């Protein structure tokens, strides 16, 4: 149980376009979802926290107008990178928590590799 | 702000031997959670072990155990009987807020297993 999926796993887009990444909890209801960014050979950095039906909370330094997060249901959160530029190329990982045995334990998706050309 | 420090960028161990990965953290919170995650080349984050700060007993999961020193704000991971499949990046992580906050990660330790 506690499976989180992400789609797509890889995406290439042209500079100036927007791209949407989906994060789904497949077998549980996610009370909160998180979005992280990981640069090559680096650690994960929290970008934002989203709760179903409310606005996302962004970490300091993360542009909320560039990284749009929508948490429309208890099983789906989306991250839209708007007007993408090559510096937005990165590995994006989502995670989710729910009413599980360990409600504080985050379950991670497999990640999405974004390349902006 | 909370910080997590992993001072070992890379560690190497012979297969079947024991290795300890270090992690220290800084927080003013009294209630928090600590984790070790494994990230293999696939980049899927895999939970290795968790520790609730209010528990004095060190967590263990089969070959993996932690040495949690709350006063020293230290949370090291011991891997016994190292196996080739243990080779990966290991990240120490922290959160508070009853666990509803995002995770703060250390920079990671690259673990190499020598056959």
The pLDDT tens digits for A13-57 are: 999 999 999 999 999 999 899 999 998 889 999 999 998 888 899
- CA B96 from chain center: how many Å? 16
| pLDDT at res. A105 | 87
CA distance A96 to A2: 9
**Contact A104/B103, CB-based, under 8 Å?**
no
From the CA atom positions of chain A, what is the Rg in Å?
13
CA distance B95 to B1: 11
Residue B98 pLDDT level (bands cut at 50, 70, 90): confident
Token code pair at residue B17: 């031997």
CA distance A66 to A83: 7
- For chain A positions 92-111, those within 8 Å of chain B (CB to CB) are 93, 95, 97, 102-106, 108, 110-111
A68 in contact with B at a CB cutoff of 8 Å? no
Q: φ and ψ at B86, to 5 degrees?
A: -80, -15
Render pLDDT for B100-112 as a digit per residue (tens, 0 to 9). 889 999 999 999 9
DSSP-derived 3-state class of residue B85: helix
């Amino acid at each position: 149980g506690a499976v989180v999926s992400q789609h797509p796993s890889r995406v290439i887009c042209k500079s100036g376009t927007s791209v949407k990444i989906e994060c789904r909890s497949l077998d549980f209801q996610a009370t909160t979802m998180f979005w992280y960014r990981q640069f090559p050979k680096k650690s994960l950095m929290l970008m934002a926290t989203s709760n179903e039906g409310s606005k996302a909370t962004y970490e300091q330094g993360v542009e909320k107008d560039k990284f749009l997060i929508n948490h429309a249901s208890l099983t789906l959160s989306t991250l839209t990178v708007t007007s993408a530029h090559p510096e937005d190329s990165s590995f994006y990982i989502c995670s989710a928590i729910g009413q599980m045995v360990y409600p504080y334990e985050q379950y991670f998706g497999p990640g999405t590799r974004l390349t902006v050309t | 702000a909370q910080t997590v420090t992993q001072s070992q960028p890379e560690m190497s161990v012979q297969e079947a031997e024991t290795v300890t990965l270090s992690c220290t953290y800084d927080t003013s919170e009294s209630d928090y959670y600590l984790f070790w995650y494994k990230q293999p080349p696939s980049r899927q984050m895999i939970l290795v072990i968790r520790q609730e700060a209010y528990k004095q007993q060190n967590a263990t999961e089969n070959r993996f155990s932690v040495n949690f020193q709350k006063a020293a704000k230290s949370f090291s991971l011991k891997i016994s009987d190292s196996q080739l499949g243990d080779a990966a990046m290991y990240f120490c992580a922290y959160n508070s807020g009853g666990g509803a906050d995002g995770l703060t990660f250390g920079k990671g330790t690259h673990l190499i297993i020598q056959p």
